[in-house]
Chains A and B, each alone.
Chain A
Amino acid sequence: MKPKKWPRVLLYCVLILYGLVTLYPFLWAVLAAFKPYAEIVSGGLNLLPEKPTLDNFAYIFTRDPLFPKWVMNTFIVATTGTILNVIFNTMAGYSLARLRFAGRNYWFLLILAVMMVPGQILLIPNYLIMKSLGLLDSYSALILPGAINFAYIFMMRQFFINFPKEIEEAAQVDGLNRFQTFWKIVFPMARPAVATQAIFIFLGFWNEFMKPLLYITSPEKYTLTLGLQSFQSQNATQWNYIMAASVVSIIPIIILYILLNRYFMQGLRIGGDK
């Protein structure tokens, strides 16, 4: 059922048009990051910079005292958060799928139920809990509440339910106990599922705005998202710097997206199955 010729042309027009709508804002942002301030405020309609310059990037990395710190902070928080998630979610998913323990089904149902709870209801109590634990204004406040993810626990459980039992039995015959089996055999074999969750969790931490806004008060501990916002309110209409900073904050994600596209698409398919 190939479409006839003229609707086909129309389809491609729609696709290309939508592609332009998608890319156009990014193009403006990226190219504005290479324009000097005067060129941006002069209000020309030129997409391409007339006098391309790297000064904006040089400014945010060398003259702005905090920007490089924010990049580092975001890397630390996102990486630590991702590692914890991968370990904890995989352990929980494995346990729910494979180990028989009292109350297992209740825990599973509870996890399904709390997935429905909207974040707003947790904001204020979590802030008070952080306060009483003395964790306000620390990276732990950003990492700990997000160190597990119910949706990915669920995903890992589904993965392990379909995981061949023979492999674990063989490992047990070889004298490995449950923990050794998990770490040495099962975990490495779950790599595709682990990679998928790792990517989306990293993305979630990288892009998180609300938690740093609530929990972090010292500017030198900001993550990029919050930093960008404060950078913008300080630099008002210095769009050349703001765009350079925004572009820098997006680049690591784009690199991941290109390198790990296969896992991205896999993760989306999991979303799509619902």
Chain B
Amino acid sequence: MTSVPHSNQQPVVPTGRPPKPKKERARKGESLQGYTFMLPTILIMLVFTLIPIGYSLFLSFTRVNLFGGVSFEFTGLTNYSNALQDERVWIALKNTVRYVAFVVPIQTIIALIMAAVLNSGIRFQNTFRTIYFLPTLTSSSALTMIFMFLFSLNGPVNNALVSVGILPEPINFVNETQFALASIMVMNIWATVPYYMTIYLAGLQDIPKSLYEAADLDGANAWQKLTKITVPNLAPITNYVILMGLIGCFQLFDQAYIISGGSGGPNNATLTFSLLIYQYAFKTLGTMGYASALAILLTIVIFTVSMIARRLNKEESHY
């Protein structure tokens, strides 16, 4: 619900406001008022966003010592070159990329399908929407608790699978190397689909009905209408959904932290890039500067992947 609108909102910027002849004094007064209204925003943005961006860059070239006060030792590019040789960085990167590669496409497709179903002229649309949205409202913390319970040794998932005969004996999903990350994937797809579904729904309502009527006259079936009308017309929305999905998934932290108790275990299976940054910054001594370098690298990765996704999407939507 919180992101940057792009081109479609831009024209509203009131640059061409009709010039009203005003006295110089009134102008000055208005400038003062303008800054008074903006003051809290400017201060908070300065202290907690703008300064930290520069600070973060600076930290990434230093070794930070937290004994007593805070002191820095300039180390040049050492942090960055260390990152390339750090085995845990590569493990975290692999886990994160695997997570992104599964979750983003699956959640996008399910969201699109569910939005199309909801928009197909069925009744009780609002009731269904209201129910579907519940997981998105719930905190990552409570959701992870619920899923840890469901997937626990005595939990309903194991009980069901064992009683049906799929599993010979219960599996401790959350503590098994091969299942831990997959559990998080399932949970997060389940939790984020409703949000993107809502965004798709708004987009679907903007597609002119006449397109579908024309297709009906031509004898198109439901599948053809979906692939030839719905999907191409939703391209800009898909672009947005994929971008937001990528950015969100690359930052996966809460669930990985809670499931592993902050360790990224079992066997580094839930060690995501953000969790690794957290560990180096706050759990081991003397690696805060190194963690800053990793944060910068993560930011670069996110920006690059977003740019590529945007480029690919643009090319595709030419068809």
Contacts and interface: CB of A to CB of B under 8 A. Distances in A.
B296 interface: yes
B131 A19 contact: yes
Contacts of A112: 4
Contact of B70 (A84, A128, A254): A128
Given A123-B281, A161-B12, A253-B138, A91 B38 contact: yes
Contacts of B240: 274
A226 B152 CA distance: 21
Interface in B285-308: 288, 291-292, 295-296, 298-299, 302
B222 interface: yes
Interface string B39-53: 011101101111111
B27 interface: yes
Given A1-B216, A102-B31, A206-B139, A8 B122 contact: yes
A125 B142 contact: no
A270 interface: yes
A23 B4 CA distance: 31
Dominant secondary structure of chain B at its interface with chain A: helix
Interface in A198-250: 200, 203, 206-207, 209-210, 213-214, 224-226, 228-229, 232-233, 237, 239, 242-243, 245-246, 249-250
B117 A249 contact: no
By secondary structure, the A interface counts as helix
A102 B27 CA distance: 10
A81 B155 CA distance: 37
Interface in B244-271: 247, 250-251, 253-254, 257-258, 261
Contact of B160 (A45, A99, A131): A45
B282 interface: yes
Contact of B33 (A41, A97, A99, A226): A99
Contacts of B102: none
B49 to A, nearest CB: 5
Interface size class of A (residues with CB under 8 A): 35 or more
B14 interface: yes
Contact of B1 (A41, A257, A270): A270
Contacts of B45: 110-111, 114, 148, 150
Given A45-B156, A158-B12, A257-B137, A120 B145 contact: no
22 contacts: A1-B209, A1-B212, A2-B121, A15-B117, A18-B128, A22-B131, A95-B35, A95-B38, A100-B34, A107-B42, A115-B3, A118-B251, A121-B53, A125-B56, A128-B70, A161-B14, A210-B254, A228-B145, A232-B148, A257-B137, A271-B1, A271-B3
